Structure 1
């Protein structure tokens, strides 16, 4: 059975607080509907200070989604590790793990926007060392035992329920990220389809004598929207996808490798590229994808159109997916 994901970043350019509130509540209702229809995962992410209102608090949102659902996993992909207080993050994840019965998945990356570090007063040049400290602290904290943190003895309670600890993956597209994951015996989540990086990670596992595994995006990992008339949907809503694609492009430097990377400058180019796809239910099934990532509220998409896409997916695609 393919993995099915509903992605939310709550982008809404120019939205008022009232409109944003309605959008957030709609996302929770969508998550509940997705859960009831057998969707595997809700995915969310973290960015700060974006003019288009990109979600800055993924664990707050994750907690709300976990409270509105009973079966699906919620993946934070990715938390920008060095921007967080390690002890507080350990507590927050432990509490969410307990509340959800282990349904929270955290992918820890280091981010790619120096301005987010400047905003937080965190030294961009220290991001690798800060990420090491964060991951090491999380693993020590979740044992429930005392450990040394920045020269003092501390203990984090409560302990999470998941053994040996809540699911924590190291994200990234660099050898440093793969090496960090292998050294700590944590699974690795490349940010794109990078077989050479997977091989490098496995070599480092042998070097460090640790165990781990890779969760890597497929060669094709498009963001999907369902519509009965894709031509009309592209004409009406294509600018929402283009806004998100152009935002990503403006943030990502040349060395960043991402499964969501577009060179398109207009809606026609974006459609031809295939990173974002608007499909009929029949076309969606025919794609034969191992991972289907639905993005119902992409780029400020009207909520009612997001609902149409989600319902088409759950009612006309999910029942037809093969095991």
Structure 2
């Protein structure tokens, strides 16, 4: 069984008006540096616009900011919402970011999902997948050949030469956050990595998502047994019941925000989204049970079960949830690195800088934390 590499996902959200954007930025920088120390492979940065869901409208700026403060960890957007970008400008920015990172750039590509963003950019959401495919063509052409020429339904680029990178070599590794059939088939043809998350939902939801991707992967000519897969999970390591419940509440708020932001109408107070309970919202204990929250042994066994079931090539950990303080976030990541990772050594590749492994056999199902029994 292949070992999954590790990623750290940085949403960079604001909980409320008492949250300072500069504090979010500093916490993000510190967690990325600590993740590098623990052997994480990639640090990811979100792209969102116009709400407190994220203060990061340009993930490549975060990549550039961290490039000089890290040495080994790869850096990438998760994702570039391609329809919101001018493709000719974007291909230059990506090439420059790859230069700034000394080749450590990774690309996550997506189409966006929030109608409010499309409305403010003056775009029709119905065109998003077609736009994504065209911009992907332009990126691929420019990063591979150093030249762009394109005539499509949404974009036209006159013959243009680029100057930012050594051309004729492979472009950065690509991860794709979309289940649109043609985009997944294209990922299969190029050997790119599909990216899924199952947030507050259980393992069976993720199994179904993987099965759907595998079917499209085969249609694209790929071998399902060799399909790479990136899986994103909420992870918060704590022995404290109150902290665990706070983390579960933050996961619940993320779920509420995801549904609210994906809807046609958006109720806001300034930049802050007014969150409403989900339809048929489960109790808080359900979020606590299905996210990876609790003591180190519990988190390790839960992740071991999921890794064995889903066989991902990349495990992306979302650890800096809005609403959890800076010290608590860093303490959780430190516990993950020192207490959880050694137990996952047979399943996770944490690089040479990870703590010395202490192999532990994972049981068939996660053990309950003391305060869960």
**TM-score (normalizing by structure 1):** 0.83
Q: 271, 287, 295: which one pairs with 2:318?
A: 295
Which residue in the other structure is 1:278 paired with?
293
- The 2-side partners of 1:29 and 1:314 are apart by 14
Q: Which residue of 1 aligns with 2:158?
A: 152
Equivalent pair of 2:47/2:81 in contact (CA under 8 Å): yes
* Partner residue in 1 for 2:22: 21
Q: Structure 1 CA distance, aligned partners of 2:88 and 2:326?
A: 37
The equivalent position to 2:252 in structure 1, one of 229, 242, 245, is: 242
Q: Deviations over 1:100-144 (max 9, x none)?
A: 232221121112222211111223232233112201111111134
Task: Spell out, residue by residue over 1:231-253, the C-alpha distance to the aligned partner (whole angstroms, 9 max, x if none).
Answer: 22233443322211211122347
Q: Which residue of 2 aligns with 1:202?
A: 218
Aligned counterpart, 1:269: 286
Task: Answer with 283-292 or 122-131: which moved more.
Answer: 283-292
**Matched residue, 2:342:** 319
**How far apart are 1:65 and its partner, in Å?**
2.5
Partner of 2:228: 215
Q: Does 2:235 match 1:228?
A: no
Shift of 1:10: 0.8
Q: Report the Cα distance in structure 1 between the residues aligned to 2:40 and 2:244, rounded to whole angstroms.
A: 25
Partner of 1:105: 106
In 2, distance between residues paired with 1:162 and 1:74?
Answer: 22
Inter-partner Cα distance in structure 2 for 1:264 and 1:27: 30
Correspondence for 1:169:
175
d(CA) in 2 for partners of 1:99, 1:246: 37
Distance of 2:315 and 2:149 partners within structure 1: 43
User: 1:217: how far off?
Assistant: 4.2
Q: Is the 8 A contact 1:2 1:292 kept in 2?
A: yes
- Superposed, 1:64-143 pairs within 5 Å as 64-143=65-144
Deviations 1:67-121 (A, max 9, x none): 2211122232222111111112111111121222322211211122222111112
Change in 2 beyond 3 A, CA 1:134/1:262: farther
1:310 matches 2:316? no
Alpha-carbon distance, 1:224 to partner: 0.8
In structure 2, distance between residues paired with 1:262 and 1:282: 33
CA distance in 1, matches of 2:195, 2:142: 25
Distance in 1 separating the partners of 2:178 and 2:28: 27
SS for the counterpart of 2:68 is helix
Whether the 8 Å CA contact 2:21–2:55 is kept in 1: the answer is no
Alpha-carbon separation, structure 1, partners of 2:301 and 2:216: 34
SS at match of 2:62: helix
Give the unaligned 5+ runs of structure 1. Answer: 207-212, 254-260
Q: Note if contact 1:178-1:188 (Cα within 8 Å) is conserved in structure 2.
A: no
Q: For the residues of structure 1 that align with 2:296 and 2:279, how far apart are their CA atoms?
A: 24
**CA deviation digits over 1:244-300, x for unaligned, max 9?**
1211122347xxxxxxx997454223223x0x2212112222231536543332123
Distance 2:345 2:233 in 1: 19
Distance verdict in 2 for CA 1:298–1:319, change over 3 Å: same
